[in-house]
Chains A and B, each alone.
Chain A
């Protein structure tokens, strides 16, 4: 009985929670200096219209990024120079993916999907802060810009974010 109440309560919280309406990235936490496999969860279209393109910006500090192809979507990347070069197992990387674009698909408003990528959080990042992945969701002519990085709980279009945790197995 208690379990059922708790489950109902959890469901209610889950249903009414603000994250449901937003584009988010999972998992919500990541360790500095380790590889992170993140998925952008697109739960709905833009004001009822089907999603046709997802663009994510890779800010400085997230290196060696590889996107995951998706059936039915064209994949493009924009590369650029890193402000701080990244040391990947002895190889110094000075440039890499700065933006990923999945386009040409059609994700109806009533369905959800995930757009996955992988990379590594640089050691210079600060533990406990939020790392934002600004996302532009295009639905035909309509655009929702999930680029608010203020951390304001009332923000209409917050950027998906990951909480940075201490590097596993390292002492900093």
Chain B
């Protein structure tokens, strides 16, 4: 008995080493979650002549999925993939020639290298803005989104419970018969769900309805995205787990189940928000550790519960070994979880209060209960089960099943993160969303600039800065700023601000709606003289 335990821990050390080596190999290519940094021309720009191309610059490499040009009349034209070429961190969109004067919208969807679809619209005007901007891009299909969430939940649950349970062959020579059957059945369902995510991910990325699931472009989109690689890794993990469960030789089965765990870790670290935060070598290793650990933990639970029901005597050695292993699994799980949470949240600020954080709080509350149950099992019940107490066996089984339910719930909550943006990304987006517009005054004696932060519906900080022709401060007794929206039947409204040393400043100026606004700036140069400037700005939702 003693000898077996020693050889088991040696084998464990070799396996841990293999995990690290395999992981380092798998993590080599740097993949990430891109966001738009800038576009040329910038959104809201009024150009004198039609541009030949629009250059979108991202924080990381990205490739175009679907690009539409909505012209002055609101007609949508799909631009072919040849017209939207990826060039490292940039996508260069070649525009058709002969664009009419007025406001155009370039609506784009792109895949960042971690597989997340990102989208946006560049609004630009040729000559002068149109009276009313063209209609905006429709949202991606709700049915597609909910089916995608559901199939991803099934996929993740299968990976954790089904594929993870193959890891039981590291602590016991054989899986209980029923546990094996349940795992194989779950893996079959999981494989179907994983295959279903292929068209669903493509549909979501391209913003197309469910009916288009057979279109080759949809499948190609997933295949060429990072998510495609991630889903393939999931399928490999499921296949390896099935082999490990069915394999006759326990030693071989242990190795195959270890490979399956590696594939599960890769599934998670190949795509997703967490894998794309900087520093990436850290986040990706943390995601890998986190998911591989949770898969092993979750996977052991069902076989253990079933083993306890069959015969407590045969359950004792695996239970003891599980009990000895689990601290080495929970430690990386907690360390990686804390590290990822700290990175994803970013410094405290208003960006914390997003749906991402609400899901995180829900997850943490569930974790408290989960760890309480786990601690009770390990330090209280296990000893009594080994001593042969019947009540303890029953309690342990109930508690283990509770752990399974909790882990599944946590997985469901975590799957919801796909549809939210982590606070660090929100904070970065808010910080970079300040817009600037040049002010071209009719007096010609000076120029100026208007900046709006964060240029979203609601409270904004506005600044007007003036500079004289020869670099001197421009004379200004007072500055007034008005907003108007031609397509709305409302009068222009004035933003109340104060004069400062360098210009005019307004805090908490409420901008009541998204879209193109005309801003008129009136500068009182002297008692009897005023200068005017007009510009267009685009305010986001």
Contact = CB atoms under 8 A, between A and B. Distances in A.
A52 to B, nearest CB: 16
The winner among B524, B529, B530, B532 for most chain A CB atoms within 10 A is: B530
B442 A136 contact: no
Interface in B146-180: none
B528 interface: yes
A148 interface: yes
Interface in B426-461: 442
A57 interface: yes
Contact of B530 (A55, A57, A147): A147
A92 interface: no
A147 B532 contact: no
A147 B442 contact: no
A136 B532 contact: no
Contacts of B541: none
A136 B530 contact: no
B532 A134 contact: no
SS class of chain A's interface: helix, strand, loop or mixed?
strand
Contact of B532 (A55, A57, A145, A150): A150
Contacts of A148: 530
Nearest to B480: A156
B442 A150 contact: yes
Nearest to A133: B528
Interface in B255-304: none
Nearest to A56: B528
A147 B532 CA distance: 12
Interface residues of B, number: 7
Contacts of A145: 524, 527-528, 530
Interface string B508-541: 0000000000000000100111101000000000
A134 B526 CA distance: 11
The winner among B524, B528, B529, B532 for most chain A CB atoms within 10 A is: B528
Interface string B476-488: 0000000000000
Contacts of A134: 528-529
Contacts of B527: 55, 57, 136, 145, 147
Interface in A130-163: 134, 136, 145, 147-150
Nearest to A143: B527
Nearest to B529: A147
A148 B532 CA distance: 9
Nearest to A59: B528
Nearest to A55: B527
B488 to A, nearest CB: 16
Nearest to A150: B532
Contacts of A136: 527-528
Contacts of B524: 145
A57 B529 CA distance: 10
A57 B442 contact: no
Nearest to A157: B530
Contacts of B532: 150
Interface string B124-165: 000000000000000000000000000000000000000000
A145 B527 CA distance: 8
Contacts of B530: 145, 147-149
A134 B442 CA distance: 17
A136 B528 CA distance: 7
B527 to A, nearest CB: 6
Nearest to B530: A147
Nearest to B522: A148
Nearest to A148: B530
Contacts of B529: 134, 147
Contacts of A150: 442, 532
Nearest to A149: B530
B404 to A, nearest CB: 70
A29 to B, nearest CB: 23
B328 to A, nearest CB: 75
A138 B529 CA distance: 16
A145 B529 CA distance: 9
A113 B116 CA distance: 71
Interface in B89-110: none
A152 to B, nearest CB: 8
A134 B525 CA distance: 13
A134 B527 CA distance: 9
Interface in A50-70: 55, 57
Interface string B390-406: 00000000000000000
A93 B527 CA distance: 26
Nearest to B531: A150
Given A55-B527, A145-B528, A147-B530, 15 more contacts: A57-B527, A57-B528, A134-B528, A134-B529, A136-B527, A136-B528, A145-B524, A145-B527, A145-B530, A147-B527, A147-B529, A148-B530, A149-B530, A150-B442, A150-B532
15 contacts: A55-B527, A57-B527, A57-B528, A134-B528, A134-B529, A136-B527, A136-B528, A145-B524, A145-B527, A147-B527, A147-B529, A148-B530, A149-B530, A150-B442, A150-B532
